Amino acid sequence: MDSQKRIKLSSEFRMLKECQDKEFVPVKRFREAVIALKQREKICDELETAYEEQHERADKMLEVAKKLRAELEAGKTHFGRNQMKKSDRDAFDHVNVNNIMEFMKDMFRIKKFLHHSWSYWLPLDKRSFCAKILDQLDMPTDMEPEWFWHKKIVPLINSKMCDIRSEATKAIQKAYLSKWRSPDVSMYIV
């Protein structure tokens, strides 16, 4: 609300209070007071609707936050193809992608499939996958480490594991199909 309008409204209310003691109220002052009261009611209604809208938005945000916290506490992370865009990555993500790729390539030589508990947050257990990979990553200091693990690192690991498996499958198919491919059959061309 403008400071000039506020001053005008307060002066109108002062005049109305002064006129209450008198029997005769000038019509002009009465009309100005009525207009000021209507403006005040309109402003109050606008503030109430704005408050209700903000309250609804806050309730929705709180609901989403509760859902995300429940997923995090339950250890649920969505596996499958990584949906994190490259444009959403920060400096830590770009450095961590290379470290994760090197670690996963070394591990893929020994293990082709990850254990079902690979995404659990177990930084204190030195034998866990989490502790082994956290030793090689850069962690931001302003983020909660568990949140960073579940929302940034786990999707990156999953994406890199999918890429490595895909490359291995293509290499096997290429070796197999090139061995049995005859020059006249074009359906086996990869």
* pLDDT tens digits, 79-132: 555 566 666 677 777 778 888 888 888 887 777 777 777 888 888 888 888 888
Clarify whether residues 117 and 52 are in a common domain.
no
For residue 189, give Cα distances in angstroms to 44, 101, 170, 173.
Answer: 74, 30, 12, 10
Is residue 137 within 8 Å of residue 153, measured between CB atoms?
yes
Residues 106, 69 share a domain:
no
**What share of the chain has pLDDT > 70, as a percent?**
73
Does 70 lie in the same domain as 105?
A: no
Statement: residue 187 has pLDDT above 60: no
In a domain, 186, yes or no: no
Whether 81 is in a domain gets the answer no
Q: Which of 74, 96, 116 is the last residue of a domain?
A: 74
| Residue 21 banded pLDDT, cuts 50, 70, 90 | low
> Could you tell me if 9 and 65 lie in one domain?
yes
Same structural domain for residues 91 and 158?
A: yes
Number of domains in the chain: 2
The pLDDT tens digits for 134-183 are 888 888 788 888 888 888 888 888 888 888 888 888 888 888 777 665 55
Q: What is the pTM of this model?
A: 0.50
Residues 33 and 95 occupy one common structural domain: no
Residue 137's domain comprises 86-180
How far is residue 60's CA from residue 52's CA, in Å, rounded to a whole number?
Answer: 12
- Let me know whether 94 and 12 are in one domain: no
Point out the domain boundary residue: 41, 74, 107: 74
Task: For residue 115, tell me if it sits in a domain.
Answer: yes
